[in-house]
């Protein structure tokens, strides 16, 4: 790990000190979702530095907020459809501007980021339905499936996998590829890394994963493929690339 990476790891692990707290944060059903959402937005606004040469354009879309993230000189025909992270309960297109801007500037391709329905108000498969709807809207606008790539982080990664399954089941042409950063694809937390990496992961407060996943599933089946794509039939999907850190509880999916 680089020096910069180690410094970031330390900052994340002990970030509760920055909030004036002496103990690590605990997330449970008594934790205010509204406060989590406010803190997420404030952190994004305070910590993220926007790269130069990026334009944000609100999409004329009626179902929910979405925006284009456009680097200078972007190829107008190619698109990244990005599903933001946030544990299924928080985050939005604007909170992820910095993350998305950073890589579209290097790729020279514009991205479309959207505010899918959040839990617990809207449990699975609401977010997957939103993702599929805006993808179909892109196809209706004339964009070709072979020129669209799905990308997403954490919860967004799980949502895009669920979207691929839904699109295939509905016989809708699939995008060219799918890239996921630390995707949440198993609401049952059956992977060993949820136990073996729990002390090593600097990003996961105690109780967070269980609480967020329970909100996302709601009264539904935690093994339903649109909520937990790990339990779905993955045959015939677009090519997929997954990136995840060795210390993450999501290491084993």
What's the pLDDT band for 203 if we cut at 50, 70, 90?
A: low
Residues 6+ apart with CB under 8 A from 58: 65, 66, 67
Q: In the sheet where 109-114 sits, what is the strand order?
A: 54-58, 66-71, 109-114, 75-83, 148-153, 177-181, 240-243
The pLDDT of residue 199 is 65
- Mean pLDDT confidence for 152-167: 97
Distances (CA, A) of 172 to 153, 168, 206, 239, 251: 23, 6, 40, 16, 31
Structure tokens at 9: 């790891």
What's the pLDDT band for 191 if we cut at 50, 70, 90?
A: confident
**The CATH number of domain 3-252, selected from 3.40.50.720, 3.50.50.60, 3.40.50.1820, 3.40.605.10:** 3.40.50.1820
Q: Is the pLDDT of residue 48 over 50?
A: yes
* 162-181 pLDDT per residue, tens: 999 999 999 999 999 999 99
Collapse the DSSP code of 72 into the 3-class scheme (helix H, G, I; strand E, B; otherwise coil) and give the result.
coil
In this prediction the pTM is 0.88
- Cβ atoms within 10 Å, residue 231: 17
> Could you tell me the sign of the dihedral formed by the alpha carbons of 98, 103, 109, 112, in that order?
negative
Q: Is the pLDDT of residue 20 over 70?
A: no
Sorted by where each begins, the domain ranges of the chain are: 3-252
């Amino acid at each position: 790990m680089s020096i910069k990476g180690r410094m970031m790891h330390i900052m994340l692990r002990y970030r509760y000190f920055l909030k004036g707290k002496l103990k690590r944060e605990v997330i449970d059903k008594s934790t205010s979702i509204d406060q989590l959402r406010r803190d997420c937005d404030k952190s994004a606004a305070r910590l993220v530095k926007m790269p130069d040469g990026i334009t944000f354009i609100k999409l004329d879309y009626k179902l929910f907020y979405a925006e284009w993230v456009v680097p200078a000189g972007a190829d107008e025909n190619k698109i990244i459809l990005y599903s933001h992270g946030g544990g299924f309960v928080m985050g939005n297109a604007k909170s992820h501007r910095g993350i998305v801007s950073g890589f579209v500037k290097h790729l020279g391709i514009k991205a479309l980021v959207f505010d899918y329905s959040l839990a617990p108000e809207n449990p699975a498969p609401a977010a997957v339905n939103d993702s599929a709807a805006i993808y179909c809207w892109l196809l209706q606008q004339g964009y070709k499936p072979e020129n669209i790539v799905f990308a997403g982080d954490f919860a967004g990664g799980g949502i895009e996998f669920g979207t691929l399954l839904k699109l295939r089941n509905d016989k809708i042409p699939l995008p060219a590829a799918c890239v996921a950063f630390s995707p949440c694809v198993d609401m049952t937390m059956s992977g060993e890394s949820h136990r073996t990496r729990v002390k090593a992961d600097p990003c996961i407060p105690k109780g967070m994963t269980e609480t967020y996943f329970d909100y996302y599933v709601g009264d539904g089946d935690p093994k339903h493929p649109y909520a937990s794509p790990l339990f779905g039939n993955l045959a015939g999907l677009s090519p997929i690339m997954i990136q995840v850190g060795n210390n993450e509880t999501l290491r084993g999916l």
